[in-house]
Amino acid sequence: MIDIHQHADWLGKNKRDLIAYLDKGGIRKCWLLSWESVTGGLEPYYQHLSIENVYATYKMFPRRIVPFCGVDPRRENAGQLLRDLRKKGFRGYGELKFNIVADNPDLIRMLRLAGKLNMPALLHLDVDIPSTPQWYLGDIGHLENAARLCPDTVLIGHGPGFWRELSAGETYAPDVIYPTGRIKPGGQLLRILEKYPNVYADLSADSGLTALTRDPKFAKSMLTRFSNKIMYGTDNYHWRHIDFLKSLRLSPEVFKRITQGNALRLIH
């Protein structure tokens, strides 16, 4: 299997703990993501996960790590930095988790460059919580605009602002991060997955897991229907995602596409 959403030196785990976790779960490789933001000091839950540390981990374990770099588009010479990092061995652009909307012109410029460099981009959308300034990349409408403006770039959606759009015709209180209850067909997320060939979905974190477990019957149908667009990730050090996927008794073909096939197709 391939875990497409991991970080180094966080949640109390060091680099070797990460590899031990992968070994224990039978995970062959992981996509290792950075998190940087030029306004990180103003964000209450920000944890700087440097591009340099991703590279250091990759150099320690080159057969296990696929390095990603989430260059902030507001950085000076951001485009040249992404080009240089691609030459250095980085394979993807992410994690993108900034206080700008996904269709911000600076980010669109970087996403288009990522497409030219054959680097899939992983975007974290977070809902606007009134009690804190915690929001990232806007709503799913901004993601759709980015998909339309960057047709040659693979965009992988992740986070509460992405997965809360799975159900149709629902309005949530501003502080509802992880909606619960049965899913109503026709949600914005599935429409976008169906309409845009370049949009994929990352199952990681509580956001992805809650979206699946709130309605297992719907989850099995969705995973089967969009098995070529959905990828397994954890963003953590537990097995709840894979345990739930196994509980659904997906076909071997669907399970393989989600847990490795799609990731290998995007980054061989």
Contact predicate 81/114, CB 8 Å: no
> Domain residues of the chain, as ranges?
2-266
Contact predicate 156/94, CB 8 Å: yes
> 2-266, superfamily in CATH?
Metal-dependent hydrolases (3.20.20.140)
Higher pLDDT residue, 135 or 4? 4
pLDDT in tens, 67-118: 999 999 999 999 999 999 999 999 999 999 999 999 999 999 999 999 999 9
Contact predicate 203/233, CB 8 Å: yes
pLDDT in tens, 137-181: 999 999 999 999 999 999 999 999 999 999 987 777 767 788 888
Rounded to an integer, what distance in angstroms lies between the CA atom of residue 42 and that of residue 119?
A: 29
What is the structure's pLDDT at 169? 79
What is the structure's pLDDT at 94? 97
Please tell me what DSSP assigns to residue 257: I
Rounded to an integer, what distance in angstroms lies between the CA atom of residue 232 and that of residue 204?
A: 7
Beta bridge partners of residue 30, listed in sequence order: 3, 65
What is the structure's pLDDT at 131? 67
Tokens encoding 212: 């699946």
Question: Could you tell me where the beta strands, DSSP code E, fall in the chain?
Answer: 2-6, 29-32, 65-67, 93-96, 121-124, 155-158, 199-202, 230-231
In the predicted model, is pLDDT for residue 221 greater than 90? yes
What is the structure's pLDDT at 174? 67
Contact predicate 125/88, CB 8 Å: no
What is the structure's pLDDT at 84? 98
CA angle 155, 77, 107 (to 5 degrees): 25
In the predicted model, is pLDDT for residue 130 greater than 90? no
89: CB partners within 8 A, 6+ apart: 55, 58, 67
State the DSSP string of 67-118.
EB----TTSTTHHHHHHHHHHHT--BEEEE--SSBTT-HHHHHHHHHHHHTT
What is the structure's pLDDT at 171? 73
Across 215-224, average pLDDT: 96
pLDDT in tens, 15-50: 999 999 999 999 999 999 999 999 998 888 899 999
Strand ranges across the sheet with 230-231 = 93-96, 121-124, 155-158, 199-202, 230-231
In the predicted model, is pLDDT for residue 11 greater than 70? yes
In the predicted model, is pLDDT for residue 132 greater than 80? no
What is the structure's pLDDT at 99? 93
